[in-house]
Structure formats: C-alpha cells, structure tokens
Amino acid sequence: MVLLYEYELFWTFLIISSVIPILAFLISGVLAPLNKRPEKLSSYESGIEPMGDAWLQFRIRYYMFALVFVIFDVETVFLYPWAMSFDVVGVSVFIEAFIFVLILIAGLVYAWRKGALEWS
C-alpha cells in the first residue's frame, strides 16, 4: 500500500496528459463549422486561386539523397551520449560503439557505390 503513494504524481500526470487532448478534440468538434465552403475545399486556403495542376513529380534521387542524409544524421546523434560517458562505461561499450561506427561506414560505402550520393 505504501508503494502506491510513490506513484501518485505519475498517475496524476498520466491522467491529465490523457484528458487534455481528448478535451481538445471534443471542443474543436463542437465549435467547428459544419458546412464546407468552396474556399475550404480548394487545394490552397491562401485566398489565391490556384493555377495549373498541384501535382508535381520529383525524381526519386531527391528522396534517396534526403533519406541517406537523415539516416546518417540521426545515427550519429547516438554517438553523443556515448562520448559524454566514455570515462564511465569502459572498454566493452567502446567496442560496441566501434562496431556501430563500422556499420555506419559500411552503409555509407554501400550508398556511395549505389550512386545515392550523386546529385546529377
């Protein structure tokens, strides 16, 4: 019974953080206008009449380049906590981080060989 009092703050936070979004959705559903005007149904709500087709086709190379950048950018963020606690964690974590960096390098070489890093 004593342990339940230690989690009062957690349960309070959990309940409040669950109730607020539910109330926001309910209130917006009640206050939202029910009729859809032509301006609301148009492609752009800026007030400017759209000219031409809104569909533009991009080359897949742009997406591949962005995806490779995001993957390596996010993965290198995982190295920061390791570098900050290097003096505490020891040699085993150094070996794991070294293997992680080798996997990143292997992925970079693979992307480079496939031509994902070439812009033209």
> What CATH number corresponds to the domain at position 75?
1.20.58.1610
Q: Say how far apart CA 68 and CA 52 lie, in whole Å.
A: 32
Q: Is residue 109 part of a domain?
A: yes
User: Do 64 and 110 lie in a common domain?
Assistant: yes
Q: Which two tokens stand for residue 116?
A: 């994902």
pLDDT in single tens digits along all 120 residues of the chain = 566 677 888 889 999 999 999 999 999 989 887 777 776 666 665 666 667 776 777 777 778 778 888 877 887 787 888 888 878 888 888 888 889 889 888 988 888 888 777 776
* Class of residue 10 by CB neighbours under 10 A (exposed 0-12, middle 13-18, buried 19+): exposed
Domain housing 107: 60-114
User: Do 30 and 71 lie in a common domain?
Assistant: no
Q: Is residue 83 part of a domain?
A: yes
Q: What is the pLDDT of residue 58?
A: 74
Q: Residues 85, 33: contact at Cβ < 8 Å? A: no
Q: Percent helix, strand, coil in the chain (nearest 5)?
A: 70, 0, 30
Q: Is residue 96 part of a domain?
A: yes
User: Do 65 and 29 lie in a common domain?
Assistant: no
